[in-house]
A and B are shown apart, each in its own frame.
Chain A
Amino acid sequence: MAPLNAIEVRNLRRIYRTTIGVIRRRVKEVVAVDDISFDVAPGELFGLLGPNGAGKTTMVKMLTTLLIPSAGTARVLGFDVVDQADPIRPRIGFIFGGERGLYWRLSAIDNLRYFASLYHVEPEIARKRIPYLLELVRLDGRGQEKVEGYSRGMKQRLHVARTLLHDPELLFLDEPTIGLDPIGARELRQVIRNLQSEKKTILLTTHYMFEADALCERIAVIDHGRIVALDTPEGLKRHVRDLSVIELEVYGIPPELLDVLRALEVVEAVTVENRDQKQAVLVQSPGGSEAVPEILAALSGLRVGKVIVREPTLEDAYVRLVGGEVEP
């Protein structure tokens, strides 16, 4: 009988231990994943959203059988990730964001042929599938070139082709669009949508809010190893339904002025985004446009450009949940 959930995580915890010092060695513990529980249904595209260091990659490594949890349990396709790795591995595919994980001195085709054999893909199937996958990730015509000459985006697209070689039913995509140019990232998102339409279960980690919003059916917001919210993108936006976002275009804002803004009663949260030569101060406020005069008064003496009042997005919900600065 097929398992009810593709992924079942219960009270999962992972602690890394490192030693510090030479003569007086001390053990330092870092809790990367702290008591996390969630389920992913078959065919669902589930997102793990969080800043760098939140524990997303550690979670993926545990679910892909590469790392043993310190506590708790995780089942993938009905099998335990610690003791039943063998039946899990042929049925999942995984990529970790970045350029590593490929044989750079070899061509893309050589890489794919090698991984096809490691995944026990029959040679005649591999011969047909490799050109198809190279076309899917827009590397057709470049397959004979050595990977060391590829751009970062090309390497990441090759990773996607590599992970689809054995047609896995469950995919773990850890920050697959990180470092890609906007067009490359958009194309990769389209590939992910196509995989979703093929009813594949996908666990996607990202720290790009719009990406999670555009792709995921449900999102777990993770911070400091803990889930701080788990809902649909619309459900997460409801966390900030009582707020408006006031965007103020400024040209250099001193930190003490930000503290002044944060101290205002009409202000819930303040973040700053760099936009070319300018900055955008994003103020979350329950007051909406009525709060604008008070905010502008607090910024008196500062050159302020455009002021926009808008509805909150998933990113604003994320800021409220996680707090702190949003990564550009």
Chain B
Amino acid sequence: MRKLTLYARVILASAEMSVRETMTDGFVVFGIFVQPLIIALLGLWMLRDRGGDYGIFVVVGSGLTGLWSSLLFISGNSITHERWTGTLETLVGVPTPMGVIVLGKNLANVLQSIGSMAVSYLLASLLFGYPLTVAQPIQFVISLFLTVVAFVTFGLVIAPIFVMNPDVQRWQNGLEFPIYILAGFLFPIALLPGWTTPISYLLAPYWAAQALHLTSSGGGTSGEISIAWGMMLLFSLVYVLLSRTLFRVMLRKARSEATLGLE
């Protein structure tokens, strides 16, 4: 119990630290707030003659792009940044497990992105006059909560790779758009070739997009929504277990190959 209290304090402190740091970084502010707005604006403009249902689809989808970008770039870059500033060694040398520190950072990034989704919602409503009503509000809130859990835990799998390998940053750009597409953030995966579908099913962001789109636009059966929730929970659990092993292996490798610092 005492350990849980200590870890909860670290998660909150790391989240607070992350918010304070990111809010002074223009690149991060752009990624969280401006980029999703641009995507939402373009999507709404293209679909302005299609009617109200598309409005909420685009708002939720653009919010999800912000979530993924912030997780990929901010969480990943924060480890690269820690390495450059020399704080990564200090963080590894403290008694708190690295995964707990990263969890707090990811939580802050994901919650900030949820904020950007709300801004997109307001923009669509004010500028384009879409009736942005959420079809199943309670289910939507539950979906949003599970989305936060799924993305935060997905970030835990990504982080150890950044801890071990300073060169992994060059792969970041290449990972951004495939997830937008494969997870069906902005259009249904039914439009993609059939062979990509199994890949989508293995991604928690796909099930998050599915749950949020179904509950916001309506039209989903309770069975479909439950499957999406269950898959998010399952994948979150898998990611947590996987990240524990990854952190242990990658930190050992980083200590062995001297990649925690820049010397």
| With A118-B91, A120-B96 as contacts: A16 and B258 at CB distance below 8 Å | yes
Report yes or no: A103 in contact with B95, Cβ–Cβ below 8 A: no
Task: Give the 8 A-B CB pairs with smallest separation, nearest first.
Answer: A100-B86, A117-B13, A101-B86, A90-B95, A118-B94, A68-B256, A89-B95, A68-B255
| With A66-B255, A67-B258 as contacts: A104 and B93 at CB distance below 8 Å | no
Cβ–Cβ < 8 Å partners of A57 in chain B: 263
Report yes or no: B85 in contact with A103, Cβ–Cβ below 8 A: yes
Which residues of chain B from 74 to 130 have any CB-CB distance to chain A below 8 Å in the complex? 85-87, 89-96, 101
Judged by a CB distance under 8 angstroms, whether B17 is at the interface is: yes
| With A66-B260, A86-B95 as contacts: A102 and B255 at CB distance below 8 Å | no
Report yes or no: B252 in contact with A68, Cβ–Cβ below 8 A: yes
Judged by a CB distance under 8 angstroms, whether B24 is at the interface is: yes
Question: Hey, which bits of chain A sit against chain B, CB under 8 A?
Answer: 16, 57, 61, 64-68, 86, 89-90, 94, 96, 98, 100-106, 110, 113-115, 117-120, 123
A141 to B220, CA, bound (A): 60
Report yes or no: B85 in contact with A104, Cβ–Cβ below 8 A: yes
Judged by a CB distance under 8 angstroms, whether B20 is at the interface is: yes
- Which of B10, B86, B94 has a CB less than 8 Å from the CB of A89? B94
- Which of B17, B87, B94, B101 has a CB less than 8 Å from the CB of A119? B94
Residue in A closest to B17 when the chains form the complex, CB atoms:
A114
Residue in A closest to B85 when the chains form the complex, CB atoms:
A100
Residue in A closest to B25 when the chains form the complex, CB atoms:
A105
Most buried by A among B10, B89, B92: B89
Cβ–Cβ < 8 Å partners of B14 in chain A: 114
Report yes or no: A101 in contact with B13, Cβ–Cβ below 8 A: no
Interface size class of B (residues with CB under 8 A): 20 to 34
A65 to B260, CA, bound (A): 12
Report yes or no: A103 in contact with B258, Cβ–Cβ below 8 A: no
What are 17 sample pairs from A and B whose C-beta atoms fall under 8 A apart? A61-B89, A66-B92, A66-B261, A67-B260, A68-B255, A89-B93, A100-B85, A106-B21, A114-B14, A115-B94, A117-B13, A118-B94, A119-B94, A120-B6, A120-B10, A120-B95, A120-B96
Cβ–Cβ < 8 Å partners of A110 in chain B: 17, 20
Cβ–Cβ < 8 Å partners of B252 in chain A: 68
Cβ–Cβ < 8 Å partners of A100 in chain B: 85-87
A61 to B262, CA, bound (A): 13
Report yes or no: B21 in contact with A103, Cβ–Cβ below 8 A: yes
Residue in A closest to B90 when the chains form the complex, CB atoms:
A101
Judged by a CB distance under 8 angstroms, whether B48 is at the interface is: no
A102 to B86, CA, bound (A): 7
Residue in A closest to B7 when the chains form the complex, CB atoms:
A120
Least CB distance from B189 to A in Å reads: 40
Report yes or no: B87 in contact with A101, Cβ–Cβ below 8 A: yes
Cβ–Cβ < 8 Å partners of B261 in chain A: 61, 66
A73 to B21, CA, bound (A): 39
Residue in B closest to A106 when the chains form the complex, CB atoms:
B20
A90 to B94, CA, bound (A): 7
A86 to B6, CA, bound (A): 15
Least CB distance from B74 to A in Å reads: 14
Cβ–Cβ < 8 Å partners of B94 in chain A: 89, 115, 118-119
Report yes or no: A105 in contact with B24, Cβ–Cβ below 8 A: yes
- Which of B21, B24, B85, B96 has a CB less than 8 Å from the CB of A118? B96
A115 to B14, CA, bound (A): 10
| With A66-B255, A103-B17 as contacts: A117 and B9 at CB distance below 8 Å | yes
Cβ–Cβ < 8 Å partners of A115 in chain B: 90, 94
Report yes or no: A117 in contact with B10, Cβ–Cβ below 8 A: yes
A118 to B11, CA, bound (A): 9
Cβ–Cβ < 8 Å partners of B258 in chain A: 16, 61, 67
| With A64-B93, A94-B93 as contacts: A106 and B85 at CB distance below 8 Å | no
A102 to B88, CA, bound (A): 10
Report yes or no: A113 in contact with B13, Cβ–Cβ below 8 A: yes
Cβ–Cβ < 8 Å partners of B86 in chain A: 96, 98, 100-102
Cβ–Cβ < 8 Å partners of A68 in chain B: 252, 255-256
Cβ–Cβ < 8 Å partners of A94 in chain B: 93
A64 to B91, CA, bound (A): 12
Least CB distance from B13 to A in Å reads: 4
